[in-house]
Amino acid sequence: MRLRTLMAALTATLLALAASSAFAQNDPLAGDAATTERSTIIVGSADFPESQILATIYAKALAAKGVKVEIHPNIGSREVYFPALKDGSIDLIPEYGGAVLRYLDKNSTQNSTDDVLAALKTALPRGVQILSASSAQDTNTVTVTQANAEKYGLKSIGDLKAHAKDWVLGGPPEWKVRPDGVPGFEKNYGVKFKSYKTLDVCGPLVLSALINGQIQVGCGFSTDPALKSHKLVTLADPLNQFPSQNILPLISSAKVTKDITAALDAVSAALTTDDLIDMNARINAHDSYDAIAGDWLKAHKLN
């Protein structure tokens, strides 16, 4: 009986270890402790393609400077990867200034790039810091067709004031009440639209409505390839109605060195919003992250 009991316990232990091993293989935060050195930079990404391509660029830029790197892509939402950054499961991840500030401080009101970056330095927890931000942004935009932009001389959101009374604005349901939606257009720019058409979150429904003339103004994203492929124009937001979303490296302070800072600062200095539009178009065409990142680094002499 004792032998049976011992064998049963041993079998249960082996099964538990096997299950744990299988989970680790599928866990984007799991690393091989035997091969991951303390000097290795573990680069993570959120669970959407643009974050993954940015993480790949960071990793390849660091590797080109002789830094040992591992990539843990597709971790999940900010609620998952931010604690991972704090506990050391990852060391570096691409972030968006305004979004991470709102995550850390729900009551923050800073929208301009300078204000957001200054507030971030105060809001970040101990042991985590940001390096230089890029000019590239993936933020909400106000979008019109190129034909209307040229016909009516539209360059800024404020230019809509003379025409909005005859035009329809389209976007997600929350734009009807949020400060960066209809109330913001009226308060910040004095722009009052004829009506509001509830569509999707700056996606294909808004795009189709713009192209077909069902709406004249729609919400968009600044790195959407549709801006180029469908000849759309993003209107400038000089009063910062939308929070700035400059892309920047968020990194564990313990892993910051002169060489790592120099490599990532060089990426930030070169990265533009237009670059992201082009890279997102390649992602949509099913090009690999490695190829896209490698081509971008080569074009900017960073590999």
29 is a domain residue: no
What distance lies between CA 204 and its chain's CA centroid? 19
CA 72 to chain centre: 16
Q: What is the pLDDT of residue 85?
A: 95
Read off the amino acid at residue 39. S
Q: What are the angstrom distances between the C-alpha of 97 and each of 138, 139, 171, 263, 282?
A: 10, 10, 23, 20, 24
Report yes or no on 109 lying in a domain.
yes
- The mean pLDDT of 185-193, rounded to a whole number, is 96
Q: What is the pLDDT of residues 101-150, one digit of tens each?
A: 999 999 999 999 999 999 999 999 999 999 999 999 999 999 999 999 99
Can you read off the two tokens belonging to residue 261? Answer: 């800072």
CATH of residue 124: 3.40.190.10
Handedness of CA 181, 174, 83, 139 (dihedral sign): negative
Query: 49: which DSSP letter?
Result: H
In a domain, 2, yes or no: no
> Does 24 reside within a domain?
no
pLDDT, residue 28, reads 57
Domain that holds residue 92: 41-137+244-299
Query: Number of structural domains, the chain?
Result: 2
Alpha helices in 91-181 (DSSP H): 97-104, 113-123, 146-152
**How much is the pLDDT for 30?**
54
Q: What confidence tens digit (pLDDT) does each residue in 48-90 have?
A: 999 999 999 999 999 999 999 999 999 999 999 999 999 999 9
